[in-house]
Amino acid sequence: MSVYAIFVLLIIGLVAGVFSGLMGIGGAIIIIPALIYFLGMDQYSAQGTSIAIMLPPIGFLAAYNYYKEGALNWKYAAIIAFAFFIGGYFGSKFAIQLPQEILRKVFAFVLIAIAIKMLWTKN
């Protein structure tokens, strides 16, 4: 692995970590596009790598800070985590069956749709 790749990976991790702690985003909006455009990964590899990052240690310290401030609902988090676990399995099985070109377009469409909704709605 080159020094450039290590540097880029560290920057991606720091930026995604800051945005994750700040706004709860990181994987899809920062990590996947960065892996594709800065390190030349294909869509499948970028998504798989992003998912691997979300394993338990990723959000522990950020969640702990929210917990200390009384801003974390453990029951909701546990239920969502369980469903996320199951959904991630089925979603990944479906994603790897799609041609990369279609997967990339679906990914881009979802990002654009979310951005438009967030820009034009009050809540």
Which SS3 state, helix, strand or coil, does residue 54 take?
coil
Domain housing 45: 3-120
Residues 70-116 pLDDT 10s: 887 788 778 877 887 888 888 888 888 889 999 889 888 888 988 89
How much is the pLDDT for 5? 92
- As a whole number of angstroms, the distance between CA 62 and CA 41 comes to 28
For 8-39, the pLDDT digits (tens) are 999 988 888 877 766 667 767 888 888 888 99
CB 8 within 8 A of CB 39: yes
pTM over 0.75: no
Side chain identity at 106, as an amino acid letter?
V
pLDDT band at residue 2 under the 50/70/90 scheme: very high
Q: How many domains does the chain have?
A: 1
Closest C-alpha among 92, 104, 95, 86 to residue 42: 104
